[in-house]
Amino acid sequence: TFWEHPWPTTVIRCRRAVNPPEHHQRRTAERLKAEYHELDTGHYPMLSEPEALTRLLLN
C-alpha cells in the first residue's frame, strides 16, 4: 500500500502555513515512518528559505 513503501521519506512542516495542520503532518510522518522536520516558513519554503530546505532534503 501507499503507507508501506520501501523508499526513504521526509515530511517537512512549514510552521507559518495554515494547512495541513500540525497534527495531520505528524500523523502522516508516523504512518510513513518518515523523518519529520519543521521550517519557520510559509507554504513555499523553496522561495523564502531555499538554503534551509535544501539542507533538510540533502541530509
pLDDT tens figures, 3-55: 888 999 999 999 999 899 999 999 999 999 999 999 999 999 999 999 999 99
DSSP percent split of the chain into helix, strand, coil, nearest 5: 40, 15, 40
Q: Please indicate, yes or no, if residue 20 is contained in any of the structural domains.
A: yes
* Domain that residue 45 falls in: 10-58
> Rounded to two decimals, what is the model's pTM?
0.85
Q: Which set of grid coordinates corresponds to residue 50? A: 531555499
Q: How many residues does the chain have?
A: 59
Q: Please indicate, yes or no, if residue 14 is contained in any of the structural domains.
A: yes
Give the model's pLDDT for residue 2: 84
Q: Which set of grid coordinates corresponds to residue 27? A: 500523523
Q: Please indicate, yes or no, if residue 4 is contained in any of the structural domains.
A: no
Q: Please indicate, yes or no, if residue 44 is contained in any of the structural domains.
A: yes
Interval 43-57: pLDDT, tens: 999 999 999 999 999
Q: Please indicate, yes or no, if residue 3 is contained in any of the structural domains.
A: no
Q: Please indicate, yes or no, if residue 50 is contained in any of the structural domains.
A: yes
Query: How many folded domains does the chain comprise?
Result: 1
Residue type at 34 in one-letter notation: A
